[in-house]
């Protein structure tokens, strides 16, 4: 019995023109049924949102692997441009599939009749890039096999905080921790989780004299973001985290398109390739906390709204579809909160529109503000929960762990200086090289000592002011001063600090509060008093207020 397979692909532009992958699969399934054969689900391969100019497509890779294992006899495709847009790529793929005994059949352009197919046959001897493309593709797939086998690192330069074995630079087993840089990485994650912004991290690194991975004394926000999102620090190396797509459309004649080879975009987590495990610098909980902080900062960024003022910007969620709501003004001058399924991008997907009604912005804002004022006027409701949550704000074992990391880093650098001195005394290292490397190592050692002094000063400040957080009533008294005369900025600051989420479901409003627990009150990061923000606390309290709009 012949085994049929189907392949469909649609880029974003094709989807806009209603040429979706699903329509292609339905055509291919109907064609197979007309010939008395049904398509099994495991033999349907598809690529949604991938350009035909690239061979790096997960669905196409699975199809080629299935053909290579001699599982398929015929492959149905609607047209050659769905297989690839480049003639050389078409020749490469058709030849590879036929070499393994599979017949490629195009519904719109049969191979034996269309002049386009004759061109494909002639181009094999006319295109000089054919051999180069074949070699490049073989190297890519060979590299992909080694990555999946865990025998090849996905990078040639290690992330900040790691070192490679000079004899085996691409072997995952040779990755080791640089204790001096690892101490900086641990502090960066700790500072960011505690609420420091990217700019604050850059300023602190510059003040401590810590150079970037490229040797610059000023770190860039993109370098810090790459560091905070790299899962290798949690102990696992992944490949295929980024993919190259065609350059973006030029928005202006004065603005370049970008890199000539395309734009790098993140891939879905399901497409990541787990390569190998390496020594972890931070825990998985710390990495997840930093990732959650990145999402939170991106959601609350002022760039999300530059035209109209919305008091609950970034805080409203739809209770029906659980998606975030954004502010929108409709003519003549009515403001609403709309869940994102109602935007034009969501309307292109059938069945994705949420049935929830538009949420009037001004009545909802007044309701939430009045409820917040009521909570602040009666702090006895939250006093007990705040005291219990405060115990996990600054754990002694966390402070000791960070100090121990700095101590290990200093010991490692001290040993490096001793070994360097022995090498110089033994005549192995010349004087100029000895002085240069010693100055560099002493500079890194001084940076770690300054970090330790800052950590000690921070601990003293927290110990002196910790008693201020024990009195929830005092905090509420400070916050509620001037509530009656608060302007928009003051209201916005309080809501962002004390309200975690406002969930609107039909005629009900659920307000989820979060209150500061740090010794410095609202200037410190606050713990979220909700069941889905456990973070190791033993007792969690969530305040919920259901009120009709």
Residue 358's domain comprises 304-391+472-548
Same domain? For 361 and 481 the reply is yes
- CA dihedral sign of residues 87, 89, 91, 94: negative
Q: How many angstroms separate the CA atoms of 168 and 149, rounded?
A: 17
Query: How long a stretch of residues is the chain?
Result: 549
Averaged pLDDT, 390-408: 66
Lowest-confidence range among 180-189, 245-254, 328-337?
245-254
Cβ contact 205:219 at 8 Å: yes
What confidence tens digit (pLDDT) does each residue in 408-467 have? Answer: 888 888 888 888 888 888 888 888 888 888 888 888 888 888 888 887 776 665 554 345
b or e along 494-525 (b: 16 or more beta carbons within 10 Å of the residue's beta carbon)?
bbebbbbbbbbeeeebbbbbbbbbbbebeebe
What is the per-residue DSSP string for 166-215?
TTBTT-GGG-EE-HHHHHHHHHHHHHHHTT--HHHHHHHHHHHTPPPTTS
Neighbouring C-beta atoms of residue 357, cutoff 10 Å: 14
Cβ contact 420:429 at 8 Å: yes
Averaged pLDDT, 168-182: 91
Give 114's pLDDT tier (boundaries 50, 70, 90). Answer: low
Same domain? For 495 and 421 the reply is no
pLDDT beyond 50 at 474? yes
Counting the structural domains of the chain, the total is 4
Coil/strand/helix, residue 105: strand
- For the CA atoms of 140, 142, 146, 147, what is the dihedral angle to 10 degrees? 20
Closest Cα to residue 377, out of 469, 481, 490? 481
pLDDT beyond 60 at 302? no
Same domain? For 443 and 519 the reply is no
**Paired strand residues for 265:** 243
Would you state the pLDDT for residue 488? 87
Same domain? For 506 and 441 the reply is no
Q: How many angstroms separate the CA atoms of 547 and 303, rounded?
A: 31
H or E segment and range at residue 411:
helix 396-425
Same domain? For 465 and 478 the reply is no
Coil/strand/helix, residue 541: coil
Same domain? For 238 and 385 the reply is no
Of the chain, the end-to-end C-alpha distance in Å amounts to: 64
What confidence tens digit (pLDDT) does each residue in 62-74 have? Answer: 899 888 877 788 9
Averaged pLDDT, 140-147: 88
pLDDT beyond 70 at 175? yes
Cβ contact 287:218 at 8 Å: no
Cβ contact 258:267 at 8 Å: no
Cβ contact 163:178 at 8 Å: yes
Lowest-confidence range among 46-55, 112-121, 381-390, 503-512?
381-390
CATH number for the domain spanning 291: value is: 3.90.1750.20
Coil/strand/helix, residue 533: coil
Percent of the chain with pLDDT over 90: 17
Same domain? For 328 and 400 the reply is no
Same domain? For 50 and 128 the reply is yes
Neighbouring C-beta atoms of residue 291, cutoff 10 Å: 14
Same domain? For 517 and 456 the reply is no
Q: How many angstroms separate the CA atoms of 278 and 294, rounded?
A: 24
For residue 324, the 8-state DSSP code is B
Lowest-confidence range among 125-139, 228-242, 290-304?
125-139
Q: Residue 230 contacts by C-beta under 8 Å, 6 or more apart in sequence?
A: 159
Would you state the pLDDT for residue 257? 46
Q: How many angstroms separate the CA atoms of 304 and 326, rounded?
A: 9
359 inside domain: yes
How far is the CA of 282 from the CAs of 167, 273, 402, 439, in angstroms? 27, 21, 11, 29
50 inside domain: yes
pLDDT beyond 70 at 534? no
H or E segment and range at residue 449:
helix 431-465
Give 533's pLDDT tier (boundaries 50, 70, 90). Answer: very low
32 inside domain: yes
Would you state the pLDDT for residue 389? 45
For residue 521, the 8-state DSSP code is G
Provide the total of helices (H) and of strands (E) in the chain, helices listed first: 18, 17
Q: How deeply is 10 buried, as exposed, middle or buried, from its count of CB atoms within 10 A (0-12, 13-18, 19+)?
A: buried
Same domain? For 293 and 177 the reply is yes
Pairing state between β 508-513 and 499-505: antiparallel
Q: Which has more pLDDT, 516 or 427? A: 427
Asked which of 93, 114, 147 is the last residue of a domain, the reply is 147
pLDDT beyond 70 at 117? no
254 inside domain: no
Considering the entire predicted model, what is its pTM?
A: 0.49
CATH number for the domain spanning 99: value is: 3.40.50.1390
Q: How many angstroms separate the CA atoms of 89 and 459, rounded?
A: 62
Same domain? For 185 and 289 the reply is yes
508 inside domain: yes
- Work out the mean pLDDT of the chain and round it to a whole number: 77
Q: How deeply is 463 buried, as exposed, middle or buried, from its count of CB atoms within 10 A (0-12, 13-18, 19+)?
A: exposed
Q: Is the peptide bond before 332 cis (omega within 30 degrees of 0)?
A: yes
Q: How many angstroms separate the CA atoms of 499 and 491, rounded?
A: 11
271 inside domain: yes
Averaged pLDDT, 89-107: 85
What confidence tens digit (pLDDT) does each residue in 199-244 have? Answer: 889 888 988 999 998 888 888 888 999 999 999 999 999 998 888 7
What confidence tens digit (pLDDT) does each residue in 341-372 have? Answer: 775 444 434 456 678 888 899 999 999 999 88
Asked which of 409, 441, 469 is the last residue of a domain, the reply is 469
Asked which of 123, 147, 171 is the last residue of a domain, the reply is 147
258 inside domain: no
pLDDT beyond 60 at 51? yes
482 inside domain: yes
- CA dihedral sign of residues 318, 319, 320, 324: positive
Same domain? For 387 and 425 the reply is no
Averaged pLDDT, 463-482: 61
Give 285's pLDDT tier (boundaries 50, 70, 90). Answer: very high
What confidence tens digit (pLDDT) does each residue in 485-494 have? Answer: 788 888 888 8
């Amino acid at each position: 019995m012949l085994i049929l397979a189907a392949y469909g692909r649609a880029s974003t532009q094709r989807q806009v023109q209603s040429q979706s992958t699903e329509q292609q699969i339905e055509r291919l399934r109907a064609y197979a049924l007309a010939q008395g054969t049904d398509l099994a689900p495991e033999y349907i391969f598809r690529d949604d949102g991938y350009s035909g100019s690239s061979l790096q497509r997960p669905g196409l890779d699975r199809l080629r692997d299935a053909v290579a294992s001699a599982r398929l006899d015929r492959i149905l495709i609607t047209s050659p441009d769905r297989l690839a847009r480049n003639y050389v790529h078409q020749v490469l793929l058709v030849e590879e599939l036929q070499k393994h005994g599979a017949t490629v059949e195009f519904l719109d352009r049969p191979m034996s009749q269309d002049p386009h197919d004759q061109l494909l046959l002639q181009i094999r001897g006319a295109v000089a890039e054919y051999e180069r493309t074949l070699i490049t593709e073989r190297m890519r797939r060979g590299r992909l096999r080694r990555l999946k086998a865990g025998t090849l690192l996905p990078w040639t330069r290690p992330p900040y905080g790691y070192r490679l074995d000079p004899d085996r630079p691409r072997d995952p087993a040779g990755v080791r921790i640089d204790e001096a840089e690892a101490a900086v990485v641990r502090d960066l994650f700790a500072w960011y989780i505690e609420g420091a912004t990217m700019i604050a991290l850059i300023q602190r690194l510059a003040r401590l004299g810590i150079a970037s991975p490229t040797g610059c004394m000023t770190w860039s926000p993109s370098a810090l973001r790459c560091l905070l999102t790299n899962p290798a620090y949690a102990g696992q190396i992944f490949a295929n985290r980024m993919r190259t797509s065609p350059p973006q459309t030029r928005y202006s004649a004065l603005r370049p398109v970008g890199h000539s080879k395309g734009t790098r975009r993140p891939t879905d987590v399901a497409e990541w390739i787990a390569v190998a495990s390496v020594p972890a610098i931070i825990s998985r909980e710390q990495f997840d906390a930093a990732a959650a902080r990145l999402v939170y900062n991106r959601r609350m960024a002022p760039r999300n709204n530059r035209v109209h003022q919305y008091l609950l910007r970034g805080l409203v969620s739809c209770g029906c579809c659980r998606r975030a709501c954004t502010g929108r003004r409709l003519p003549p001058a009515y403001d609403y909160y709309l869940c994102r399924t109602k935007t034009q991008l969501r309307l292109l997907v059938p069945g994705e529109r949420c049935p929830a009604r538009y949420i009037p912005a001004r009545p909802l804002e007044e309701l939430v503000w009045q409820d917040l004022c009521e909570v602040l006027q009666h702090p006895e409701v939250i006093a007990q929960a705040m005291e219990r949550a405060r115990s996990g704000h600054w754990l002694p074992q966390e402070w000791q762990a960070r100090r121990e990391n700095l101590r290990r880093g200093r010991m490692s650098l001290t040993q490096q200086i001793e070994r360097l001195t022995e090498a110089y005394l033994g005549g192995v290292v010349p004087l100029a090289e000895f002085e240069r490397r010693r100055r560099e190592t002493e500079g890194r050692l001084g940076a770690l000592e300054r970090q330790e002094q800052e950590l000690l000063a921070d601990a003293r400040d927290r110990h002196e002011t910790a008693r201020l957080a024990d009195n929830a009533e005092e905090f509420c008294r400070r916050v509620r001063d001037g509530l009656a005369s608060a302007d928009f900025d003051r209201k916005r600051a309080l809501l962002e600090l004390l309200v975690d989420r406002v969930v609107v479901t039909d005629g009900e409003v659920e307000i989820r509060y979060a209150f500061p627990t740090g010794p410095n009150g609202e200037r410190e990061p606050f713990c979220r008093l909700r069941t889905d923000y456990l973070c190791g606390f033993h007792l969690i309290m969530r305040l919920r207020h259901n009120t009709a709009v």
